[in-house]
Homo-oligomer: A and B are copies of this chain.
Amino acid sequence: MTAFLLSLLIAQAAAAQSAPRTSPSPQSPGEIVAAAPAAAWVEIAADDLLVMDLAPDPDANRRRIVIQLIGEPFARPWVANVRRLAAAHWWDGTSVNRVQDNYVAQWGDATEKKPLPSQLTAATESDYTTGRAALRAGELTPGPRDVYAPATFFYRGWPIGADGQGSGATWPVHCYATVGVGRDVSPSTGTGAELYAVIGHAPRHLDRNIAIVGRVVEGIEHLSSLPRGSVGLGFYERAEQRVPIVQVRLASALPAAERPAFAYLSNRSDSWARYAAARANRQDSFFIRPAGAADICNLPVPVRRVR
């Protein structure tokens, strides 16, 4: 192992790469996830995966992005719309039009003239949050202390903010790779046709202000490494700078041989508890001083490709 590869070794480094120690090194977060038993993983339904293919990059490499849609009871009208838009092949031929550094990459119809499918559902301000009574209490796993929300938890693999105890509001939170719904000034204006993915520090001030419909589980680098747009808010100046979207489909609508499958680590598993503790207290030999904490966006729920 060279000094070069050892430099800036972080928690992802395998124990095998660590310097010899007299006592065994505690498992790193990555090792805990790698060792999680099959029963700790929950497969994501093919109807909950959105597969977006950008045009190949300048070197002809495929650019496939897979988005997990958030499940019930969150963001119901928008997620229903996203499924309808995919079924209508609405995004085919649209493009990524905006990439703002440390913020978002956004896609949709740059012409603003493409007719929307007629059966889209209109959302209202109340759809930005969900009453706690709509969640299964037995599936709430406490999350970390938070600067923005009075309480946090994880629910079926999603980081959630909450209004303290009781039957208050709950809402998904914005972290890196979160996918949300662009909208106009009125909170009822976003349909789901205009989507963005977070490519920077968690913009938590958007929580409860913009609908979260999912998160990128594979291929975020195809959005985060795009050239930044030079016009206000990161829009591309010239039409030819936009990145063409070839097609967007639910995984369930793809031929079986092309259908990807993913699973997430259950927040109710012992592996999750140990992973979250290890993320907050890195004991890998690299670390001098474990942080003793991790914010909710520094506890990304592990997702792995199944096939």
Contact = CB atoms under 8 A, between A and B. Distances in A.
A288 B7 contact: no
Contacts of A239: none
Q: Indicate the size class of the contact surface on chain A.
A: 35 or more
A203 B293 CA distance: 12
B235 A185 contact: no
Contact of A201 (B7, B11, B194, B297): B297
- Among A18, A279, A297, the one with the most B-chain Cβ atoms within 10 Å of its Cβ is A297
Contacts of A11: 205
B291 A205 contact: yes
Given A190-B7, A201-B202, A288 B176 contact: no
A121 interface: no
A106 to B, nearest CB: 6
Given A112-B2, A200-B200, A203-B298, A7 B147 contact: no
A185 B19 contact: yes
- Among A7, A201, A204, A289, the one with the most B-chain Cβ atoms within 10 Å of its Cβ is A7
B298 A201 contact: yes
Given A147-B146, A291-B205, A196 B8 contact: yes
Contacts of A210: 8
Contacts of A8: 98, 104, 106, 182-183, 194, 196, 210, 233
A97 B282 CA distance: 25
Interface in A197-235: 200-210, 220-221, 224-228, 232-233, 235
A45 interface: no
A6 interface: yes
A91 interface: no
A104 B45 CA distance: 32
A182 B13 CA distance: 14
A2 to B, nearest CB: 6
Nearest to A21: B185
A7 B208 contact: no
A79 interface: no
A167 interface: no
Contacts of A182: 7-8
A294 interface: yes
A100 to B, nearest CB: 8
A184 B232 CA distance: 41
6 contacts: A7-B108, A102-B220, A176-B200, A221-B227, A221-B228, A225-B225
